[in-house]
Structure 1
Amino acid sequence: MKIGVIDYGMGNLYSVEQALLRLECEVFITSDKNELDQMDGYLLPGVGAFPDAMNRLNELGLDEYIQEIAKTNKPLLGICLGMQLLYEDSTENSLTKGLGIFIGNIEKFEDLDSQQHQVRIPHMGWNPLSFTHQPEWLDGLEKEDSTHVYFVHSYLAQNTRQHEVVASSTYAGQFVPGLVQKENVTGMQFHPEKSGPFGKYLLSKWVQQVQKRSDHS
């Protein structure tokens, strides 16, 4: 099974690659669309600023390519900034149009909490995920001892669609969409490759989904 890690020059590619290799995937880190065409599933990583990332995707013609993936049966997973890029736009630095696969906007955490205390930004650390519903591919979820995952982000998805948010967390009283899904496209605001046993569980379940769809294609 071949997983294409979409390389647009922004992302912690090594840790993602190692996590996928441990799950016995063939991993191809590439921006070559001809090579990406041969993949069974795709991972869109991301570390850095939203406008820079979109500029890179646009320059490489990968923005339209990713939008086309969303219309196919092949699974696509966006991680951290990679998830944020899947939304309509972001106010980071300046208003920047995103890929528009999910409904919603990427906005910065509020500076003050409900008690008017300064909020530490970025949100960095371990938080549990609360699941609003359980997709079919997340079988065995109830057997997991902990749902804690590792977040590092200053911006979050706002104005989201309830049915697209599978699991959420909270930070300084703010609702944080953590795991989102729309048909074959999944987003994880946290880093599953750095999130211990539960992160491995989520990534392995996503990989199994890729395998099943590949077998039936």
Structure 2
Amino acid sequence: MKDQKITIVDYGMGNLFSIERAINYIGAKAEITSDRLKIANADKLILPGVGAFGKAMDELKERKIIEAVYRFVESKKPLLGICLGMQLLFTESFEFGHHKGLDLIKGRVIRFRDPDPNWVNFKIPQIGWNKIKSPGEEPWDYWKNTILESIPTGCFFYFVHSYICVPENKKYSIAESEYGKDLYCAVINKDNVWGCQFHPEKSGEAGLKIYRNFLKI
């Protein structure tokens, strides 16, 4: 694990140093960079993100990082998108207009539905702890060989978001969470592309377990 080139994509948006500290804490070494060659040739790639979808895509384009991400994905090595980084993996977003994403996973990013006026404790954005669960009646080992391996269904993680991912093919949603009127995708996986809507680096031991699992894939 220590010999892996773990790269955190720096495009000016995201909890870069929090993620780096989490990776270092579990005994690995991560590099924060916007260098396209390093991104394309990494062993593991982490795409973070905090902020607006359209602005993030503009920054990726401006820094000419998108092609490097595509080259990395074509190499079949694991990519992990976190929070906004997960949303960027999708085809399009309707946050403050209509924006094209990386289109690594077919689907769209939409806003939480408005709450019932009587729900005084429901606010958008969702900020805080919420639990995840496997979709449907899945076997106990459904998360084996995924970034969620050994994490129990019902485990809590830390979320900060107003928009949710809706994959065209629901089989790629390997964990769900519920907030207000929406049951939504919390963890996505298609081939070597992974994403978490929550922040593992802010989610205690369970979050560190996700990073450990990702580095073992």
Worse-superposed segment, 26-35 or 132-141: 132-141
1:180 aligns with 2:182: no
Partner of 1:163: 171
CA offset at residue 64 of structure 1? Answer: 2.2
Give the aligned residue type for 2:15: N
Partner of 1:51: 54
Instruction: Structure 2 unaligned segments of length 5 or more: list them.
Output: 136-141
Identity rate of aligned residues, in percent? 38
Matches within 5 A, 1:173-212: 173-209=181-217
Preserved contact between residue 11 and residue 46 of structure 1 (Cα < 8 Å):
yes
2:146 counterpart SS class = helix
Preserved contact between residue 2 and residue 25 of structure 1 (Cα < 8 Å):
no
Instruction: Structure 1 unaligned segments of length 5 or more: list them.
Output: 210-217
Distance 2:78 2:149 in 1: 20
CA offset at residue 135 of structure 1? Answer: 4.4
Moved over 6 A (4+): none
Partner of 1:121: 124
CA offset at residue 159 of structure 1? Answer: 4.6
Give the number of the structure whose residues are more often helix, by fraction: 1
Distance 1:160 1:176 in 2: 13
Out of 64, 69, 91, the position equivalent to 2:67 is 64
Preserved contact between residue 143 and residue 149 of structure 2 (Cα < 8 Å):
no
Q: Deviations over 1:141-180 (max 9, x none)?
A: 26x4961101000011125421100101000130121010
Distance 2:176 2:183 in 1: 7
Distance 1:19 1:48 in 2: 21
Task: Give the TM-score taking structure 1 as reference length.
Answer: 0.88
1:130 counterpart SS class = coil
Task: Give the TM-score taking structure 2 as reference length.
Answer: 0.88
Preserved contact between residue 8 and residue 31 of structure 1 (Cα < 8 Å):
yes
Distance 1:203 1:75 in 2: 12
1:126 counterpart SS class = strand
Out of 12, 30, 34, the position equivalent to 2:33 is 30
CA offset at residue 194 of structure 1? Answer: 0.6
Give the number of equivalent residue pairs.
207
Q: CA RMSD in A?
A: 1.9
Partner of 2:139: none
Worse-superposed segment, 195-204 or 80-89: 195-204
Out of 126, 146, 152, the position equivalent to 1:137 is 146
Distance 1:70 1:37 in 2: 8
